[in-house]
Amino acid sequence: MKKLFLLIGVIAAMTSCSTLKVGYDYDSQADFTKYKTYAFSEEALQLPVDQLNRDRILRAVETELAAKGFTKSDTPDVLIDLQLKAKQETEATATNMGGGMYGGRYGFAGGYGGTTQITYNDYTVGSLFINMVDSASEKIVWQGRGSKTIDEDASASQRDTNITAAVKKIFTQYPPKKF
């Protein structure tokens, strides 16, 4: 019985840890080979998070853009716009405690006792959207997004690691596969 409760605990711990979910969308008519320079939009520079995390996000995006061959420019081919969204969610887990079956003359019969314990876990899912906006047409030509449960107790170095890894994974989808 002890092993059963331990297994349930391990499964609950594994499922409560979320992985980064990424996706992307793009304008199939856009010529991604012509985009070589970028600048951040004013909205991206004023991203509504604390300064430390804003700087982490901007640095991570700059690193990935440089890895894709982009350079920063005052006359960019694309503007990089960033958006953040947070959503509060609750997860409920039910655990049966005690109870069981007893053997009768002709096999198993009814159960006895036992309770069900329900635990609630409140958490925040954060989403980062990275939009590439064609400077000439002022239309979004590519959007990458990532969503993950936010670890509000993460250390400064863990926040650096998490943000860098998230932005890197989002940019694995750029340029679109047709290019």
**Backbone conformation region of residue 36, classed left if phi is above 0, alpha if psi is from -120 to 50, else beta:** alpha
What span, in angstroms and rounded, lies between the C-alpha atoms of 83 and 173?
Answer: 18
Percent of residues, the chain, with pLDDT higher than 70: 80
Interval 126-141: pLDDT, tens: 999 999 999 999 999 9
Say which residues have a Cβ less than 8 Å from residue 73's Cβ, sequence separation at least 6. Answer: 37, 38, 39
The C-alpha atoms of residue 8 and residue 158 are separated, in whole angstroms, by 28
pTM of the full predicted structure? 0.74
Helix (H) or strand (E) holding 160: helix 156-171
* Structure confidence by residue, pLDDT tens digits, 23-37: 999 999 999 999 999
Q: pLDDT-based confidence at 7, cuts 50/70/90?
A: very low
Report yes or no: 166 and 125 within 8 Å, Cβ to Cβ.
no
Q: What does the pLDDT read at residue 130?
A: 98
Place of tokens 């290019």: 179
Grouping H, G, I as helix, E, B as strand and the rest as coil, residue 119 is strand
- pLDDT tens track for 118-174: 888 887 899 999 999 999 999 999 999 999 998 889 999 999 999 999 999 999 999
Q: Which is higher by pLDDT, 8 or 171?
A: 171
Please tell me the predicted confidence (pLDDT) of residue 4. Answer: 32
CA distances from 112 to 99, 100, 107, 118 (A): 5, 6, 16, 19
Task: Give the tokens for residue 124.
Answer: 């925040």
